[in-house]
């Protein structure tokens, strides 16, 4: 996947997460805007801001993508469990706890898991992607011959 594509995908996921939290605050929250609700929205959007900064950096694109994707999946699950299919009267409490989980555990775990996955894939496919140079022309031919059979 090209670097620009990774960055665009990560930024799209970040925007989606921010829009989900703005929707929740503007249309699902009862009462008007107050300091607590604004603080909760800012805390909820902070994992996406961090992921966007990482995605825009040269070396952190994969970390940004992984963190944003993991946070968005967790937020979608929490939105579903609080608004669409609540299991009890305390289901909405997850909306208060999920921003901290995203910031401290879920986002970093998603970032590290995606980074490790890409590193493992790159290591496994390193020989298949060798450029043709005079030094490795024989090795590339051997690799292609082995992959055909």
The model's pLDDT over 29-83, given as tens digits with 9 standing for 90+, comes to 888 789 999 999 999 999 999 999 999 998 899 999 999 999 999 999 999 999 9
Domain residue limits, the chain: 3-148
Q: In sequence order, what are the residues at sequence separation of 6 or more whose Cβ sits closer than 8 angstroms to the Cβ of residue 9?
A: 65
Give the pLDDT score at 109.
98
Asked whether the beta carbons of 62 and 114 are under 8 A apart, the reply is yes
Summarised one tens digit per residue, pLDDT across range 121-132 is: 888 776 555 455
Structure tokens at 138: 């024989």
Give the pLDDT score at 133.
61
Give the pLDDT score at 56.
96
Summarised one tens digit per residue, pLDDT across range 88-112 is: 888 889 999 999 999 999 999 999 9
Asked whether the predicted pLDDT for residue 139 surpasses 80, the reply is no
Give the pLDDT score at 149.
44
Over residues 19-29, the mean pLDDT reads: 92
End-to-end, the C-alpha distance of the chain in Å comes to: 27
SS3 letters across the chain: CCHHHHHHHHHHHHHHHHHHHHHHHHHHCCCCCCHHHHHHHHHHHHHHHHHHHHHHCCCCHHHHHHHHHHHHHHHHHHHHHHHHCCCCCCHHHHHHHHHHHHHHHHHHHHHHHHHHHHHHHHHHCCHHHCCCCCCCHHHHHHHHHHHHC
Angle between helices 107-124 and 35-56 (to 10 degrees): 20
Asked whether the predicted pLDDT for residue 146 surpasses 50, the reply is no
Structure tokens at 91: 């289901």
Asked whether the beta carbons of 31 and 39 are under 8 A apart, the reply is no
Q: How many residues does the chain have?
A: 149
Give the pLDDT score at 30.
83
């Amino acid at each position: 996947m090209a670097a620009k594509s990774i960055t665009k995908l990560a930024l799209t996921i970040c925007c989606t997460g921010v829009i989900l939290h703005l929707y929740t605050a503007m249309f699902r929250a009862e009462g008007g805007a107050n300091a607590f609700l604004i603080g909760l929205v800012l805390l909820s959007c902070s994992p996406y801001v961090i992921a966007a900064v990482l995605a825009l950096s040269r070396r952190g694109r994969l970390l940004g993508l992984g963190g944003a994707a993991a946070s968005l999946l967790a937020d979608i699950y929490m939105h579903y469990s609080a608004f669409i299919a609540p299991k009890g009267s305390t289901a909405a409490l997850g909306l208060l706890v999920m921003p901290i989980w995203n910031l401290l555990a879920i986002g970093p775990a998603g970032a590290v898991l995606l980074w490790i996955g890409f590193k493992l894939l790159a290591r496994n496919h390193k020989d298949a992607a060798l450029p043709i140079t005079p030094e490795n022309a024989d090795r590339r031919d051997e690799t292609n011959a082995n992959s055909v059979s």
